[in-house]
């Protein structure tokens, strides 16, 4: 079973995510994770998901997940709302090791990303974090704690650096062909 589960994941990360035709790639994406209407998971998104359940990683409607994003649904879950924009090379982790453990013990926690959040490029989100509705995570941040709704957070560790003024009335609709 373990061999098959790892092999199945390997097929996604080595082949299916590299399919340049959106309709065909999304067909396979939807076999591994839950994706809502009009959401786009680009080429070269990597999954860490050793469970067969598609509910480990759930993406709502009208979202974009850009190339180079890593989604970790190994033990706990990633739940993403609607109209969420995850920029390039963002790593979202739901598991880590306890550095103080004598046995290199694993610690886990869900990551929840609410509607209209924009996570800019090269951000890392650690387990057990909620990004509140409409918040923005500035590029390069490492998010270790919850970020409140409409805050702009940046830096390492991420702290509030501003307030987002948008009324969040937009709908994301971006499905570019051959986007890598």
Q: Which residues are catalytic?
A: 97
Instruction: Provide, rounded to whole angstroms, the least separation between the CB of residue 140 and ligand COA.
Output: 5
Q: Which residue, 70 or 138, is less far from ligand COA as judged by CB? A: 138
Q: Which residue, 28 or 174, is less far from ligand COA as judged by CB? A: 174
Q: By CB neighbour count within 10 A (0-12 exposed, 13-18 middle, 19+ buried), where does 173 fall?
A: exposed
List the structure tokens of 23. 């309709």
Ramachandran quadrant class, 149 (left: phi over 0; alpha: psi -120 to 50; beta: rest)? beta
Instruction: Provide, rounded to whole angstroms, the least separation between the CB of residue 139 and ligand COA.
Output: 4
Q: Which residue, 129 or 143, is less far from ligand COA as judged by CB? A: 143
Q: Which residues, 6+ apart, have CB-to-CB distance to 10 below 8 Å?
A: none
Instruction: Provide, rounded to whole angstroms, the least separation between the CB of residue 135 and ligand COA.
Output: 10
* Interacting residues toward ligand COA by CB under 6 A: 87, 120-121, 136, 138-140, 152, 154-155, 161-162
The answer to whether the peptide bond before residue 120 is cis (omega within 30 degrees of 0) is no
């Amino acid at each position: 079973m373990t061999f098959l589960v790892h092999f199945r994941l390997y097929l996604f990360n080595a082949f299916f995510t590299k399919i340049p035709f959106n309709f065909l790639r999304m067909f396979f994406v939807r076999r591994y994770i839950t994706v809502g209407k009009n959401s786009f998971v680009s080429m070269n998104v990597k999954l860490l998901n050793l469970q067969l359940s598609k509910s480990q990683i759930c993406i709502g409607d009208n979202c974009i997940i850009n190339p180079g994003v890593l989604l970790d649904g190994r033990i706990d879950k990633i739940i993403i709302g609607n109209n969420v924009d995850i920029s390039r090379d963002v790593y979202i982790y739901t598991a880590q090791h306890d550095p103080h453990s004598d046995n290199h013990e694993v610690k886990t926690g869900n990551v929840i990303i609410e509607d209209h959040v924009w996570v800019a490029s090269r951000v890392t989100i650690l387990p057990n974090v909620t990004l509140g509705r409409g918040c923005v995570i500035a590029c390069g941040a490492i998010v270790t704690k919850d970020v409140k709704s409409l805050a702009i957070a940046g830096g390492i560790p991420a702290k509030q650096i501003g307030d987002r003024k948008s009324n969040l009335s937009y709908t994301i609709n971006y499905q570019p062909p051959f986007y890598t």
